[in-house]
Amino acid sequence: MTWDIVIGIETHVQLTTKTKIFSGASTEFGLPANENACLVSLAYPGTLPVLNKEAVMKAIKFGLAVDAQIAEYSVFARKNYFYPDLPKGYQISQFELPVVNHGYLEINNEGVNKKIRILRAHLEEDAGKSVHGIMDNKTGIDLNRAGTPLLEIVTEPDMSSAKEAIAYAKKLHNLVQWIGICDGNMQEGSFRCDVNVSVKPSGSDKLGTRREIKNLNSFRYMEQAINYEVNWQIEQIEDGHDIIQSTVLFNPDSGETKAMRSKEEANDYRYFPDPDLLPLKISQRDIDLIRSSLGELPEECFKKLTVDYKLNEADASIIVSDKKTYKFYQSLVASGLDAKITANWIVGNLFAKLNDHELSIDDCPIAQEQFILLIKRIMDQTISNNAGKKIFDLLWEDPNQNVDTLIDTLGLKQVSDLSAILPMIDEIIQNNPEMVEQFKSGKDKAFNALVGQVMKISKGKANPGQVSELLKEKLTKS
């Protein structure tokens, strides 16, 4: 029997605001415990929540970026549950009337495009943190994170494999950073996914019972967790067991998912509108204002790169993987550089180096003007691509150097002068009769070896493209 996999994802995106969603306490990460606690997050009687405008604006921005409807009227609700890191005894969230409804994100999985519908996105507050093991039989409570604004983004069950789920999560991760509503830091918990998984017999209209994998904060774990969960569910059903709707946790050490104890999930949240918060009204003026500040989205930039600049999809997706890289690339091309050569240099050389040193594009030691000059010298054939790499390495070591000076002092200027190259080619043909014979009997390797020899006696200065052309001409003529 074959099975269909059905996946929906809920993502908690931490919004980048300076203050908490319902109070003026700072959201700065990494401070000692409880320095960002405040009367509102401690739930002192008499305090009242006051909604942060920036959190609302960022939620609207997201809605517009996924082509969703922005609710003119939305409502905050109390989600009631008891846990010590939630002193109020309820989380303020949105239930019936969320701020964002019905958008979509288009993903590309192994060359196939697919629309993933976004059912809703709602604003809510994060809880505090429970810290175990600081004292015997005790738990410590840190309320720094309590009240941090979250946007919970909920999809329809539109994904049908772990790969599609990852493609969606990555796309969303890219988008929320691109539009500047989230720092995307998964280790710090700024972007966490809950994945709902179920299986059903292939082609069946009836959805199977789902289990929800909680709190995945790495794409690798997400893929492992989904694959494990799918196999587990299929095995259970094939062995004649029913799937019981439940919440599961993924254990990265064992690679397994495991249901939380039923006590922990016996939740009955008793949602009701929060009487402390009046309904939220969003004006068309605010929506228009945010729309005009949205700028180009990654999707459009990707199209520009693949259609207008004719880059391959792999390079284009690396360049749009982050807004800074895209802007850097655009400014290079705007300065007159060839789009493809520049893309090759950014993806192939610059990124390799940055990754080796675990740096981001902001930390690149090489000045942009020197990087531009380097690519210009390759474009105008002053130096070969290989010589360019040599100079790139030297610039990385000592960013104060100048490309043109390095070309001169290292003697890397390419020889494109026929009268200099032709005698070298003749010499190599004369000295390597065996290789010439091999080439003539159809061995391409021999040809490359001959080009190599010419490059060697030119001390790397000959233009390899030109050498190759001239050599081929000579050999096929004679």
Q: Residue 97 or residue 403: which is nearer to other proteins going by CB?
A: 97
Q: Which of 281, 357, 440, 459 binds other proteins (CB under 8 A)?
A: 281
Q: Is there binding between residue 270 and other proteins (CB under 8 A)? A: yes
Stretch that binds other proteins, among 176-184, 195-203, 274-282, 467-475 (CB under 8 A): 274-282
3 state DSSP class of 89: coil
3 state DSSP class of 384: coil
Element (H or E) spanning 225, and its range? helix 219-238
CA separation (Å) from 433 to 130, 345, 443, 450, 468? 78, 38, 14, 10, 17
Residue type, 320: V
Give the total of residues touching other proteins (CB under 8 A).
50
Q: Residue 52 or residue 458: which is nearer to other proteins going by CB?
A: 52
Q: Between 421 and 460, how does the x/- string for binding to other proteins read (CB under 8 A)?
A: ----------------------------------------
Q: Which of 110, 112, 113, 134 binds other proteins (CB under 8 A)?
A: 134
Q: Are 272 and 77 in contact (CB under 8 A)?
A: yes
Q: How far apart are CA 406 and CA 373, in angstroms?
A: 12
| Residue 178 buriedness (CB in 10 A; 0-12 / 13-18 / 19+) | buried
Q: Residue 34 or residue 344: which is nearer to other proteins going by CB?
A: 34
**Cβ of residue 192: shortest distance to other proteins, in angstroms?**
19
Q: How far apart are CA 27 and CA 23, in angstroms?
A: 10
Q: Is there binding between residue 415 and other proteins (CB under 8 A)? A: no
Stretch that binds other proteins, among 140-148, 314-322, 343-351, 370-378 (CB under 8 A): 140-148
Residue type, 31: L
Q: Are 55 and 24 in contact (CB under 8 A)?
A: no
Site for other proteins in 202-241 (CB under 8 A): none
- Nearest alpha carbon to residue 154 among 11, 279, 270: 11
Q: Between 26 and 55, how does the x/- string for binding to other proteins read (CB under 8 A)?
A: x-----xxxxxxxx--x-------xxxxxx
b/e for 25-42, b at 16 or more Cβ within 10 A? bebeeeeeebebbbebbb
**Cβ of residue 24: shortest distance to other proteins, in angstroms?**
3
Stretch that binds other proteins, among 6-14, 131-139, 322-330, 383-391 (CB under 8 A): 131-139
Element (H or E) spanning 70, and its range? strand 69-70
Q: Which of 25, 59, 121, 176 binds other proteins (CB under 8 A)?
A: 25
Q: How far apart are CA 39 and CA 6, in angstroms?
A: 43
Q: Residue 250 or residue 392: which is nearer to other proteins going by CB?
A: 250
**Cβ of residue 36: shortest distance to other proteins, in angstroms?**
8
Q: Between 328 and 347, how does the x/- string for binding to other proteins read (CB under 8 A)?
A: --------------------
Binding site for other proteins (CB under 8 A): 17-19, 23-26, 32-39, 42, 50-56, 75, 80, 82-84, 97, 130-132, 134-135, 137-143, 268, 270, 273, 275, 277-281
